[in-house]
Amino acid sequence: MKWNKDKNKKFTHKRFEIEAEEINIGAITAENIDNHFSIKGFIDKIQQTAGPTVFFISDGTGMLALKGFIGPGARAYPEINEQDAVKVKLKLSDFRGSLEGEISYISKLSEQEKTDLINKIKETERKRSMVNFSSFLIKDKILDKLKDRLLKAAIEIKLAIIQNRPLIVRHHNDADGYSAGYSLERAIIPLIEKQHGGGKSPWEYYTRAPCAAPFYELDDSIRDTAHSLANEAKFSNKMPLIVIADNGSSQEDLLAIMQGKVHGIDFIVVDHHFFDKDVISPNTLVHINPFLVGEDGTKFSAGMLCSELAKLINPEANIEQIPAMAGLADRIDNPKAIEDYLNIAKKKGYTKELLLKIASVIDFVSSKLRFMEAREYIEVLFGEPMEKQKELIALLDPYIKNLESKGKEIARKAAKIEKIKDTTLQLLFIEENFRRGFYPKPGKCTGLIHDDIQITNKLTKVITAGVLQDAFTMRATEEANFSVHELIAYLNKNIPEAFVEGGGHKNAGAITFIPSKQKEVLEELRNYIKSTKSKS
Amino acid sequence: MKWNKDKNKKFTHKRFEIEAEEINIGAITAENIDNHFSIKGFIDKIQQTAGPTVFFISDGTGMLALKGFIGPGARAYPEINEQDAVKVKLKLSDFRGSLEGEISYISKLSEQEKTDLINKIKETERKRSMVNFSSFLIKDKILDKLKDRLLKAAIEIKLAIIQNRPLIVRHHNDADGYSAGYSLERAIIPLIEKQHGGGKSPWEYYTRAPCAAPFYELDDSIRDTAHSLANEAKFSNKMPLIVIADNGSSQEDLLAIMQGKVHGIDFIVVDHHFFDKDVISPNTLVHINPFLVGEDGTKFSAGMLCSELAKLINPEANIEQIPAMAGLADRIDNPKAIEDYLNIAKKKGYTKELLLKIASVIDFVSSKLRFMEAREYIEVLFGEPMEKQKELIALLDPYIKNLESKGKEIARKAAKIEKIKDTTLQLLFIEENFRRGFYPKPGKCTGLIHDDIQITNKLTKVITAGVLQDAFTMRATEEANFSVHELIAYLNKNIPEAFVEGGGHKNAGAITFIPSKQKEVLEELRNYIKSTKSKS
Amino acid sequence: MKWNKDKNKKFTHKRFEIEAEEINIGAITAENIDNHFSIKGFIDKIQQTAGPTVFFISDGTGMLALKGFIGPGARAYPEINEQDAVKVKLKLSDFRGSLEGEISYISKLSEQEKTDLINKIKETERKRSMVNFSSFLIKDKILDKLKDRLLKAAIEIKLAIIQNRPLIVRHHNDADGYSAGYSLERAIIPLIEKQHGGGKSPWEYYTRAPCAAPFYELDDSIRDTAHSLANEAKFSNKMPLIVIADNGSSQEDLLAIMQGKVHGIDFIVVDHHFFDKDVISPNTLVHINPFLVGEDGTKFSAGMLCSELAKLINPEANIEQIPAMAGLADRIDNPKAIEDYLNIAKKKGYTKELLLKIASVIDFVSSKLRFMEAREYIEVLFGEPMEKQKELIALLDPYIKNLESKGKEIARKAAKIEKIKDTTLQLLFIEENFRRGFYPKPGKCTGLIHDDIQITNKLTKVITAGVLQDAFTMRATEEANFSVHELIAYLNKNIPEAFVEGGGHKNAGAITFIPSKQKEVLEELRNYIKSTKSKS
């Protein structure tokens, strides 16, 4: 791209030995073309083109491409390698519209100079990644208790962007999870564009993807690692910082996180799910979860937490309606917080009714997209632009409601109801009653009739199990005094040959077992219910 | 990468104030380099490079990239936005072999000038997208009745190409569907290459993909939309025109079409399947289907219709053997039309026998490719080049015939035959008798023994059901007086708890139900057959 | 692409008739810029840009891009086509750092000149692809007998690289298969980088992928073909040479190979699995398998063979630890060879214990990656770099061991043991006892309890069958005198309506059948065992 700013160029500067002024890369502008400078920095990567050798240097304030040429395809300055701390004299020029430096002199720094440089870079990065906290969107003690962690997470994410490190956001595959992932996305992408000057950078330095399972699995981790290693090999990318949102706090996530760390990936976890023991904090840069500060995850969802985090990362992130929706979608039991978030959402034109519909459409669409990122489609779902969002909701919501009411009707007719002491056990045999791929998914159908029977039959002690060949998905009312963790322990004691595993919240969870033991497990579930002391 | 081979360059041309001649973009050639022109047009897209700002202007006769520069990465002419109607003075230059304009002056048009420009562009586009109709490949009253719709479809497709709009062709996943999609492809791609000057444009502005289901599902629509929105964000592409071929006419397709329309996608449907009520016409640019004009879809296949449409779009499209093959593959009941198409095919060296083999190989290969476009592989299957096509058919046809005869043998041994009044009901339990992934697929195996029993046992009243855990795939002879639509109504009346759904042609269709109700549905199928009046 | 807009340029260098020296492309360097040469060669591909026409010429020593210009986008020298043998006069220049030629004269060669050129190119290529054999890594008669085939394979692979032909390596989806594929990769990629000057060439000219099935299926072949045809259309790539490793020798692979050959793909097979009849040799460039030279495939694994082949292709390939691991993973019964390979591995710091762990992790990770190439991740698994490999093994090995011991425990509790004459038949019903997606996979679980019962119960005559709805996966001890091939023949005689198929080694194999015949097939398996003469 030649736009020719200097017709006489070749004659305007004399090629004397020019005293080069020392400058920070961030201070260089197009005004400086044809000027001579001296820079100290680290060589981030070296690309050998068929023409010159290109050295990418960064000094904490920015990055600049430097060219050394000794012959087509020949490696210039072979003594200079990636990661070296160097001093360069250069003439600033432009190549197809981008600023670059032509090297006239380059050498490695002394140990002392290198130490000074590292300190200067650290200081610069520290300043640039600083977060100015004024207040959260709402007032809540959970946020207050998590404030330091949220600030640290915001700083680490900003730092990754400044260090040209790719970011991967991995989230739970439901409306709260999407809210968590998307609110971070709205904060991060503008900063990446600013850092890299737009262009394709939002795709090169950022990915978001749902997890298939309700945790960050080893499969996810191996795939993320494989892709990151490929990008490192092909494009000299750095290994990423991965933010796990609405997943990540439990024992099940540990191996996946450890696997990524072997390859130089760092992790931040923002979750609100229950865990037995915190094995995650020691293995992440930051771990955020209400349970870590003596609070309950049912009172603050991941989408709510991530929206607050997004505002810390980037106060201009346009996510005001998201925490209310996330909280409603996850049935967060914190009326004051939900009301406060709803009031914020209302100012943007979102009623509670609309937010519930959006959440339902996100749930549905996520089941269609599965592993696709579909970044721009998700933007529409979240209201960019809002008029298309409303059109889409108006189209899909009645369709989904219809599927749900059909699902509920099938489930209601199929459910087997038993009385065990004063507890009602409701069994829904999934495979026998729903075609493969049926929407709503088994867990949701189970939830629908679990809610329904309480209202219809005026019951308060209810346990509902969606029964699959090798798994139960379970819901329980508070008064049923049910604990999936106790159940698992009970089953493993009484029927170890079923190899029961599972987990979840107190009143909602899932267990798996050996298919041939389904009947025995079901019988032992009844025995377990018999054995529990009723709360009343 | 400039290390400058021509030092005297800057002095060779003088920059006077030159009176710029007004010109249409389409009239500009390389002869005009270094000349000054004035152009009126719309700004299609604006790209901010790290150097100049690039404005893409089009005036209905072509598109030109214009560069404005005020500093590296700085937005030139910030008052000019996408969609603006403008007048530009420019000097024509070349950048790496492409023509482009250097802006010396740009301003928005007045309202009157804009209206004039719109009218001029419309008129130009109208002329360029005009279709010169002489005759169809064959004479048939269905074609005559659909002529206006076919012409309109051809014009809309040509218009989309002229307006630099991407085209997506989505088709049914069988030999007729592939024929429909591929014949359009052979017409469209050369026009795209002409419009965009070749290069990667056939991949950037055109996609073809089979649908997994026998209609254009919401899943397809959401994926197409997500990809199109991504291309819009990354490459400033327009939202596409989607042509649905051999699918698209039924109620089941409506939601998917509506979903795409929310995002600015337009649709054309070319189908020959039965529909209860036409809900598609009001929501598409054009809807083509024999049933719309009082004719029967069993008399003209989608591949036949699309081949005729292809010839209207591009008379040079090399598709002469395709309609015969499509008609044979779909067992079209229109002997005169099939014979006429066969005669055309024969001139290109295709016998009926060869066409049937090709159709069978396409069916088989489509089951392997699943969602892959495999554009060039499909070209070989359709005879580009013909000698490789013949080699491939010679290799695969005996293999497929062998699979089919094995499938038929298994099916024949497994089939349960019952007599219900004077009708023969043949049941083939699929899951019990075929391994998962078996080829031919359940529907085809069912069809094979349905045909077989009529010949072997000299029967005319036969109903054959391929029985799956949660679905039947059905075939019936004309004399069996069977209607899948009646059956569905019957089942929903007598066994509503089975939640039966389905559809299809009169004598071929499929129903789905709740797995646990399979036995009851089967029993009610028998009752339904008992209840129907025999035709004889 | 600059074709000179500067009108004065023509005068800066004088266009006399310069006597152009004839030169080989391989001898051209950047020193020669602005010099005039004459070249004889073949036109490999022609690209019409929006500016000049680019002709890629090669003469066996290298490739050069030549530019002809008669106007933007106009085809220069339309009489010259791809595959033509030509003589060119050119001036060497550089375009963005790559050497290229500006055509001053081009014409087709006479028939005689063309023949001479072909001979010269063949001779050049022959020399460049020559393999200097000194010795194999170890001494083994199987290698000696296969030496000529291994040399031919190495030459063909080197030739493909020299001819700018893409290479695809397809391998079995287990530790031996990965070892086979990866050792070839380590040999091939550096040669591709040398041939194409690095950059993105290792991704453009090389792919490796596991096969899903235990042979190279028609599905694999159609996909590889579709991708290769697409690359031919988009990038003018040649059709590839495919190396099938640890698969490929059996009847089941034939159709897939034939399918590829229709499209101009060539094949090399390196396998060690048993085959009934060699139908592969006549259809491949080279077929390597111990059974071809009267030896037994259980004595030399594909990974061992491919490591030796890798060393012939590229003596610098860093694969010394791989054959030992491959042999151990595949339980190769050749103690001397294994020991020799282990000694080589030990010098690189790999103990037998570590190699077994690596093999186990490769098996596990391959089940997660499925069809992903994950090139760089696989590199880490194979020890690039070794410290990350060790970290990864230390992390994953205990996790996998735990899964395996759980799998073994489930299997042991579930296994049904019968005595048939003096043979022990052990049945493991897979679907009833393992959740879908369970690791270890059915075959491995079957193997685990097959090994276990021999040790625990001190048995020598054991047959173990993993029973699926439509398949058995089988293991037998040597003394059980079992043959999967005999079993298949027996079943097809006694229960033809089960449509039994299958294959495998003598003492390990799999059969498939119609699901509804499972019980009958099981009964006939018992009868078969009864009918076999015990060895003792």
pLDDT digits (tens, 9 = 90+) for B413-453: 999 999 999 999 999 999 999 998 899 998 899 999 999 99
Output the pLDDT for position A28. 85
Higher confidence at residue A75 or residue A207?
A207
Q: Does A491 score more than 60 pLDDT? A: yes
Measure in Å the smallest separation between the Cα of C410 and chain A Cα atoms.
Answer: 7
**SS3 letters across B194-258:** HHHCCCCHHHHCEEEEECCCCCCCHHHHHHHHHHHHHHHHHHCCCCCEEEEECCCCCHHHHHHHH
Q: Does B387 score more than 50 pLDDT? A: yes
Higher confidence at residue C97 or residue B397?
B397
- Please state which of the ranges B22-31, B80-89, B510-519, C366-375 shows the lowest mean pLDDT: B22-31
A214 CB contacts (<8 Å, ≥6 apart)?
Answer: A172, A173, A247, A273
Residue in B with minimal Cα distance to C263 = B388
Output the pLDDT for position A2. 34
Tens of pLDDT, residues C36-71: 999 999 998 888 776 788 898 988 888 888 999 887
Is the CB of B496 inside 8 Å of chain A's CB atoms? no
Model ipTM value: 0.88
User: If DSSP codes are grouped into helix, strand and coil, which group holds residue B138?
Assistant: coil
User: If DSSP codes are grouped into helix, strand and coil, which group holds residue C233?
Assistant: helix
Output the pLDDT for position B34. 87
- Provide the percentage of residues in chain C whose pLDDT is more than 90: 77
Nearest to A368 among B73, B74, B218 (CB): B218
Q: Which of residues 363-422 of B touch C (CB under 8 A)?
A: 365, 368-369, 372, 374-377, 379-380, 388, 391-392, 395-396, 399, 406, 410, 413-414
Q: Residue B129 and residue B121: Cα distance in Å, rounded?
A: 12
- Please state which of the ranges A95-99, B492-496, C51-55, C514-518 shows the lowest mean pLDDT: A95-99
Output the pLDDT for position A9. 39
Give me the mean pLDDT over the B54-65 stretch.
87
Output the pLDDT for position C14. 41
User: How many Cα neighbours within 13 Å face the side chain of A303?
Assistant: 28
User: If DSSP codes are grouped into helix, strand and coil, which group holds residue C41?
Assistant: strand
- Please state which of the ranges B29-43, B389-403, C206-220, C241-255 shows the lowest mean pLDDT: B29-43
Q: Identify the band that residue C30 occupies on the pLDDT scale cut at 50, 70 and 90.
A: confident
Q: Is the dihedral of CA C345, C351, C354, C355 positive or negative?
A: positive
- Provide the percentage of residues in chain A whose pLDDT is more than 70: 95
Which residues in chain B are contacts of C93 at CB distance < 8 A? Answer: 5
Q: Identify the band that residue A10 occupies on the pLDDT scale cut at 50, 70 and 90.
A: very low
Is there a contact between A94 and B72 if contact means CB atoms under 8 Å apart?
yes
Q: Does C217 score more than 70 pLDDT? A: yes
Tens of pLDDT, residues B459-478: 999 999 999 999 999 999 98
Is there a contact between B48 and A97 if contact means CB atoms under 8 Å apart?
no
Is there a contact between B392 and C259 if contact means CB atoms under 8 Å apart?
yes
Which residues in chain A are contacts of C365 at CB distance < 8 A? Answer: 222
Instruction: Quote the DSSP letter at residue B277.
Output: S
Q: Residue B300 and residue B341: Cα distance in Å, rounded?
A: 12
Instruction: Quote the DSSP letter at residue C308.
Output: H
Nearest to A391 among B223, B234, B262 (CB): B262
Q: Identify the band that residue B6 occupies on the pLDDT scale cut at 50, 70 and 90.
A: very low
Contact A471, A512 (CB under 8 A): yes
Q: Residue A60 and residue B345: Cα distance in Å, rounded?
A: 69
Q: Is the dihedral of CA B285, B290, B294, B296 positive or negative?
A: negative
What is the pLDDT of chain C when averaged over all its residues? Answer: 91
Which residues in chain B are contacts of A199 at CB distance < 8 A? Answer: 50
Q: Which single residue is written with the structure tokens 């009918």?
A: C531
Is there a contact between C377 and A219 if contact means CB atoms under 8 Å apart?
no
**Exposed e or buried b for every residue in C391-420, given b needs 16+ CB within 10 A?**
bbbeebbeebeeebeebbebbbebbeeeeb
Residue in C with minimal Cα distance to A471 = C435
Q: Identify the band that residue C18 occupies on the pLDDT scale cut at 50, 70 and 90.
A: low
Is the CB of C5 inside 8 Å of chain A's CB atoms? no
Which residues in chain B are contacts of C49 at CB distance < 8 A? Answer: 97, 199
Q: Which of residues 63-92 of A touch C (CB under 8 A)?
A: 71-74
Output the pLDDT for position C235. 84
Give me the mean pLDDT over the B1-20 stretch.
41
Largest CA distance in chain A: 98
Contact C258, B394 (CB under 8 A): no
What is the pLDDT of chain A when averaged over all its residues? Answer: 91
User: If DSSP codes are grouped into helix, strand and coil, which group holds residue C464?
Assistant: strand
Q: Measure CA A252 to chain center.
A: 17
A315 CB contacts (<8 Å, ≥6 apart)?
Answer: A132
Q: Does A270 score more than 70 pLDDT? A: yes
Q: Identify the band that residue A8 occupies on the pLDDT scale cut at 50, 70 and 90.
A: very low
Which residues in chain C are contacts of A239 at CB distance < 8 A? Answer: none
Measure in Å the smallest separation between the Cα of C517 and chain A Cα atoms.
Answer: 21
- C29, C189, C368, C467: best to mutate for the A interface, most A CBs within 10 A: C368
Is the CB of B4 inside 8 Å of chain C's CB atoms? no
- Provide the percentage of residues in chain B whose pLDDT is more than 90: 77
Output the pLDDT for position B508. 84
Q: Does A1 score more than 50 pLDDT? A: no
User: If DSSP codes are grouped into helix, strand and coil, which group holds residue A347?
Assistant: helix
Residue in B with minimal Cα distance to C70 = B30
Higher confidence at residue C56 or residue A305?
A305
Is there a contact between B51 and A97 if contact means CB atoms under 8 Å apart?
yes
Is the CB of A1 inside 8 Å of chain C's CB atoms? no
Q: Does C9 score more than 80 pLDDT? A: no
Radius of gyration of chain C from Cα atoms?
28
Output the pLDDT for position B8. 37
Q: Residue C338 and residue C324: Cα distance in Å, rounded?
A: 6
Give me the mean pLDDT over the B170-174 stretch.
96
Tens of pLDDT, residues B248-302: 999 989 999 999 999 999 999 999 999 989 999 999 999 999 999 999 999 999 9
Measure in Å the smallest separation between the Cα of A397 and chain C Cα atoms.
Answer: 34
Give me the mean pLDDT over the A92-113 stretch.
86
Output the pLDDT for position B14. 40
Is there a contact between C73 and B429 if contact means CB atoms under 8 Å apart?
no
Output the pLDDT for position B4. 35
Q: Residue B432 and residue B410: Cα distance in Å, rounded?
A: 11
Q: Residue C304 and residue B201: Cα distance in Å, rounded?
A: 46
Structure tokens given for C413: 């509790």
What one-letter code names the amino acid at B64?
L
Contact C176, C246 (CB under 8 A): yes
Is the CB of A212 inside 8 Å of chain C's CB atoms? no
User: If DSSP codes are grouped into helix, strand and coil, which group holds residue A85?
Assistant: strand
- A98, A435, A439: best to mutate for the B interface, most B CBs within 10 A: A435
Tens of pLDDT, residues B475-496: 999 899 898 989 999 999 999 9
Q: Identify the band that residue C97 occupies on the pLDDT scale cut at 50, 70 and 90.
A: low
- B368, B381, B395, B399: best to mutate for the C interface, most C CBs within 10 A: B368
Q: Which of residues 103-122 of B touch C (CB under 8 A)?
A: none
Strand partners of residue B501: B512
Tens of pLDDT, residues B316-347: 999 999 999 999 999 999 999 999 999 999 99
In this structure, are strands A266-270 and B471-476 parallel, antiparallel, or unpaired? unpaired
Q: Which of residues 164-183 of B touch A (CB under 8 A)?
A: none
Which residues in chain A are contacts of B239 at CB distance < 8 A? Answer: none
Is there a contact between C198 and A48 if contact means CB atoms under 8 Å apart?
yes
Nearest to B222 among A377, A388, A433 (CB): A377
Q: Does B536 score more than 70 pLDDT? A: no
Output the pLDDT for position C2. 32
Q: Identify the band that residue C96 occupies on the pLDDT scale cut at 50, 70 and 90.
A: low
Chains that touch B (3 or more CB pairs under 8 A): A, C
- Provide the percentage of residues in chain C whose pLDDT is more than 70: 95
Nearest to C97 among A72, A222, A471 (CB): A72
Chains that touch C (3 or more CB pairs under 8 A): A, B
What one-letter code names the amino acid at A522?
L
**Exposed e or buried b for every residue in B125-153, given b needs 16+ CB within 10 A?**
beebbebeeeebbbebebbeebeebbbbb
Q: Identify the band that residue C8 occupies on the pLDDT scale cut at 50, 70 and 90.
A: very low
Residue C370: how many CB atoms within 10 A of its CB?
Answer: 11
Give the ranges where B89-140 is alpha helix by DSSP (H).
111-128
Which residues in chain A are contacts of B229 at CB distance < 8 A? Answer: 374, 376-377, 379-380
Q: Does C234 score more than 80 pLDDT? A: yes
Nearest to B368 among C2, C222, C471 (CB): C222
Which residues in chain A are contacts of C392 at CB distance < 8 A? Answer: 259, 262
Q: What is the pTM of this model?
A: 0.91
Tens of pLDDT, residues B197-222: 777 889 999 999 999 888 999 999 99
Give me the mean pLDDT over the B191-202 stretch.
85
Higher confidence at residue B74 or residue A353?
A353
Contact A454, A412 (CB under 8 A): no
Output the pLDDT for position C50. 66
Give me the mean pLDDT over the B118-125 stretch.
92
Q: Residue B121 and residue A108: Cα distance in Å, rounded?
A: 62
Residue in A with minimal Cα distance to B499 = A410
What one-letter code names the amino acid at B193?
E
Residue in B with minimal Cα distance to C93 = B5
Contact B241, B165 (CB under 8 A): yes
Q: Does A49 score more than 90 pLDDT? A: no
Higher confidence at residue C229 or residue A50?
C229
